[in-house]
Amino acid sequence: MTISAPRLRIAMQKSGRLSDDTQALLKRCGLKLNVTDRRLLAHVSNLPIDIMRVRSSDIPGLVMDGVCDLGIVGDNTLEEEELSRALIGSKNDYIKTTPLNFGECRFSIAMPEEFEYTGLACLDGLRFATTYPQLLKRFAKENGINVEFCLLKGSVEVAPRVGLADGICDLVSTGATLEANGLKEVAEVFRSKASLIQRAEPLGDEKQDILNTLLPRIQGVMKAKESKYIMLHAPKDKISEVSALMPGKETPTILPLAGREDLVAVHVVATETFFWETMEKLKALGCNSILVMPIEKMMG
């Protein structure tokens, strides 16, 4: 009998707001996975990893119950599951391995545009449609108001117009869905983004080794996404002014330019946003050939 080596099992959203970014992240980490719509447990061919594709609301529970070793899920879903499990005394521990840089949204209370909002107190006693009642209840309790809620798993914004609720508490990113449904955001309850979570029990040496390979890659992909490689030609006597304009903490590399005594090439990895205004200031200092390029991978 042969005992197969353990494979790290990662839960991700099958389809929805987080699925494309999650799949792109895993691919950029070098995972070769064959994802087709019907394949719910996708095998990674070049690493001992399996990807389980499920509803995002099931991910926290799958990780907390130890069915999956890791999961990629929104903080709102995670916190809601943790609060609901605490209520019924179910196992609700996990480790937040790393925050991720996608799925950013806020969980906010929104009211019909004509509602006169004068502060949280005026929401006392009202009824809200929401997908995340525990997050809303905790917020109401912390702010000394009583709210009623009705549960809707999607299209929450329709509730006030059809008389189901006075207001809603739902996820907002651009605000376009609120606007399209005659609602206005009045209070932010929770800020969310995606996170990589891990089951609370130790993974065991072999799975931990796989995670030790994967985690620096995830961090490298995120860092690369936020960084840019900048190259420009600068007047030799302006190097200190040019360096001071560079965003981020990296020291620029200064290289000679063949046949030019007056100019040098400056290369730098910018870890913060590189604005058009900065480029204009560089140009005003006499710099030229300014290139801002994306970085695919970063390590160290």
Ligand X SMILES: O=P(O)(O)OC[C@H]1O[C@H](OP(=O)(O)OP(=O)(O)O)[C@H](O)[C@@H]1O
Ligand Y SMILES: Nc1ncnc2c1ncn2[C@@H]1O[C@H](COP(=O)(O)OP(=O)(O)OP(=O)(O)O)[C@@H](O)[C@H]1O
Counting contacts by CB under 6 A, is residue 80 touching ligand X? no
Burial status of residue 174 (CB atoms within 10 A of its CB: 0-12, 13-18, 19 or more): exposed
Q: In the sheet that 8-13 helps form, which strands lie side by side, from edge to edge?
A: 41-43, 49-54, 8-13, 70-74, 194-199, 94-99
Q: Which is nearer to ligand Y, 105 or 230 (CB)?
A: 105
**In this chain, which of 8, 12, 18, 269 binds ligand Y, going by CB under 6 A?**
18
Cβ neighbour number for residue 42 with a 10 Å cutoff: 20
- Cα 185 to chain centroid distance, Å, stands at 22
Q: Which does 55 bind (CB under 5 to 8 A by kind): ligand X, ligand Y, none?
A: ligand Y
For 83-91, the CB contacts below 8 A with 24+ separation are: 83/134, 83/135, 83/137, 83/138, 84/134, 85/61, 87/134, 90/64, 91/64, 91/65
Counting contacts by CB under 6 A, is residue 16 touching ligand Y? yes
Cβ neighbour number for residue 141 with a 10 Å cutoff: 11
**Which part of the chain contacts ligand X (CB under 6 A), choosing from 26-34, 165-173, 189-197, 240-248?**
165-173
Residues 244-283, mask of contacts with ligand Y (x by CB under 6 A): ----------------------------------------
**In this chain, which of 17, 127, 184, 225 binds ligand X, going by CB under 6 A?**
17
Residues 227-266, mask of contacts with ligand X (x by CB under 6 A): ----------------------------------------
Nearest to 117 by CA among 54, 179, 187, 66: 187
DSSP for 77-94, written as a single string: HHHHHHHHHHHHT----E
Residues 84-123, mask of contacts with ligand Y (x by CB under 6 A): -------------------xxx------------------
Site size toward ligand X, by CB under 6 A: 12
In whole angstroms, give the CA distance from residue 216 to residue 288.
36
Q: Which does 227 bind (CB under 5 to 8 A by kind): ligand X, ligand Y, none?
A: none
Q: Which is nearer to ligand Y, 104 or 272 (CB)?
A: 104
Confirm if 157 and 168 have CB atoms less than 8 A apart. yes
Containing 64, the helix (H) or strand (E) segment is helix 59-64
Counting contacts by CB under 6 A, is residue 155 touching ligand X? yes
**Which part of the chain contacts ligand X (CB under 6 A), choosing from 65-73, 150-158, 192-200, 281-289?**
150-158
Q: Give the binding site for ligand X (CB under 6 A).
A: 17, 154-155, 157, 170-177
Q: Give the binding site for ligand Y (CB under 6 A).
A: 13, 16-18, 55-57, 74, 76-77, 103-105, 154, 171, 173, 192
